[in-house]
Amino acid sequence: MSEKNAVSINDVDKIFNETRDDEVTALSNIDLTIKEGEFVSLIGPSGCGKSTLLRLIGDLLEPTQGSVEVFGKSAHQARIDQDYGMVFQHAGLFDWRRVSANIELPLELHGWSKSDRATRSQEMLDLVKLPDFGGYYPRQLSGGMQQRVSIARALSFKPKLLLMDEPFGALDEMTREHMQIELLRIWEETGTTVVFVTHSIPEAAFLSNRVVVLSPRPGQVHSVIDVDLGQRTESTRQDPKFFAAATEIREALRAVEEQE
C-alpha cells in the first residue's frame, strides 16, 4: 500500500432535486481519503448514500458542494482518462457480444488493435478462471460466471481503481464466498485500489482494510473501522479476529440505527 491518495473526497454534499419540493440531501459533509492499493468498503442502511458516494467518485454524479479527486485530478478527468473500472450488482454484460467481445468493449472504445484486444481478453479470462468461455454468449453462463466476466471487463484496461456496487448481491451464499476469495486474489495480483459498496457485514469484514460506516438522512460518515486479517483464506471465516471485526461493524451499524 502506497502513501499516495487514490481518492480524496473533500467536504462533499450531494443534494438531489435542489430547490424542488422533493429535495433530498443524500450526502452531507463527507470527508474521506483512500490510499492507493487499499480495499475500502462502504456500508450502511439503505438510503445512506453509499451508492451515491461511489457514483461521485466515478463522476457519474457531480457533487453539489465540495470536491472529489481521483489520483490527484478531478473525478471528471479521471473518468475521461479511464482511471477506474466499474462493476455493478447487475452484471451488465451485453447479450449480443460474446464473452471475449464484452471484455474487449472498453479496449475497443479506446482504439486498441484487434490482436492486442484478443491477447488481453484471454489474459483476463485466465485471471477470472474462465479460460475457455470467451466464445460463449453471456446468457449461456451462470450468474456467478457472468459476474466474473464483468470483473474481467472492468479490469481489462488495467485501471488503478475498481469501483464495485454490491457486485455479489445477487449471488447465492456459496458462490458469493468463492467470489470474495477470487476478488482478494485478483486485488493482490493487480494491486488495484478497490472501493466496495455492500450491505453485508461479513463481506465487509472479510474483504476490507477499512470499513466506512455511513448513517442515513442525510448520508454522513458515522465511523471508520480498520480491519487487519492478513492473508485471507476460507478458514479466516472461522478466525476470532474475523468475528471481532464483524462485531465491531455490527455495533457501529446498531449505533447508526439508534441515532435515527
Partner 1 sequence: MNLATFKSRASVLWPPVVIGIGILALWESAVVLFKIQEFLLPKPSSIWVELLENWEVLRHASWETGKISLGGLAIGIVTGVAFAFFATLFRFFNEGLTPLAVAINATPIVALAPIFNAWFGVTGSVSNQLVVATVVFFPVFINTAKGLTEVHVNEIELMRSYAAGDWTILREVRIPNALPFFANALRVVAPLSVIAAIVAEYFGGPQDRVGYVITWNAGLARYDVAWAAIAVASAFGLSLFVGALLIERVSTPWKSAVQLEETTKK
- Binding site residues, partner 1, CB under 8 A: 55, 58, 60, 79-80, 82, 84-86, 88-90, 92, 94-98, 105-106, 109-110, 137, 139-140, 163
CB of 17 to partner 1, least distance (A): 17
Nearer to partner 1, 71 or 84 (CB): 84
Helix (H) or strand (E) holding 87: strand 84-88
Euclidean distance between CA atoms 187 and 123, whole angstroms: 15
> Exposed, middle or buried, 31 (CB in 10 Å: 0-12/13-18/19+)?
exposed
Closest CA to 146 of 156, 133, 159: 133
Cβ-based nearer residue to partner 1, 55 or 176: 55
Least separation in angstroms between residue 64's CB and partner 1 is 19
Residue with cell 470527508: 31
Comparison of 89 and 236: residue with beta carbon closer to partner 1: 89
Minimal distance in Å, beta carbon 91 to partner 1? 9
In the complex with partner 1, which residue's Cβ is closer, 7 or 86? 86
Helix (H) or strand (E) holding 148: helix 143-155
| Torsion angles phi and psi, residue 122, rounded to 5 | -70, -40
The distance of closest approach from Cβ of residue 90 to partner 1 in the complex, given in angstroms and rounded to an integer, is 5
